Amino acid sequence: MLVNFGLSVLGILIFLFIFWKRLREDYAGEVIFQSGTCITIGIGLGWAFAAKFFPDWFFWTSLLGGAAGLMLALIRFGMKFYETLEAFIISSLPWLGLVFLKDSVVASSLSSFLAFIVILIMVFISYWLDLHYKGFTWYKSGRIGFAGLALAALIFTIRSFLAISRVTMLSFVGKYEAIVSGGLAFICFLLLFDLGRIKK
């Protein structure tokens, strides 16, 4: 119980720090903190709902709760959609990684440990993309948000592929996983396409 609490607090602190760091040049600290709080509360409510009723769906209910918090922040503070979405995606990775790390230790799960390693790789990929995406000649708009959406599309594509391959992993929901993850990957690619268009 104490370990769960400690890792949750650590995950929240890391999330809020990265979220603030990515948005600090465009928004006041109070706005960023309140937005991050909305998101973390949404994630917490989603996780609590899953723990009570649908344990296997905790990833998706937490994601839905976080997305609801994100939309509330966008509406309330008038924040830019793609920039804030990217901050949300990238800031969530270390927190998700801690969830898999804890499960790999507590349940001696190799799949969770491999998922933790993948999340670490994704963190490095996100920073590499963040530094170099403006140099991609085919990404003509050069707008902020590429790294976050590309990463989300990659993660959901991997989840869908693993589900089709019948790999068992924490937070997978059986036959529905491939459909839900594949659908979200498609949406991320569509948003990425929209983001990459030149706005006249």
What is the Cα–Cα distance from 105 to 120, expressed in whole angstroms? 16
26: number of Cβ within 10 Å: 14
Q: What is the pLDDT of residue 2?
A: 64
Question: Any residues with CB less than 8 A from the CB of 33 and at least 6 apart, and which?
Answer: 16, 20
Which among 56, 54, 58, 57 has a CA at the least distance from the CA of 8? 58
Report residue 200's pLDDT band, with 50, 70 and 90 as the boundaries: very low
Query: Exposed (0-12), middle (13-18) or buried (19+): which is 44, by Cβ within 10 Å?
Result: middle
Q: Can you give the pTM of this predicted structure?
A: 0.90
Q: What is the pLDDT of residue 149?
A: 92
Tens digits of per-residue pLDDT, 62-120? 999 999 999 999 999 999 999 999 999 999 999 999 988 888 888 888 888 888 998 99
Higher-pLDDT residue of 72, 169: 72
Q: What is the pLDDT of residue 173?
A: 74
Where are the chain's structural domains?
Answer: 2-196
51: number of Cβ within 10 Å: 11
**Quick one: what percent of the chain has pLDDT higher than 70?**
94
Chain length of the chain = 200
What is the Cα–Cα distance from 66 to 45, expressed in whole angstroms? 9
For the chain, give the mean pLDDT.
87
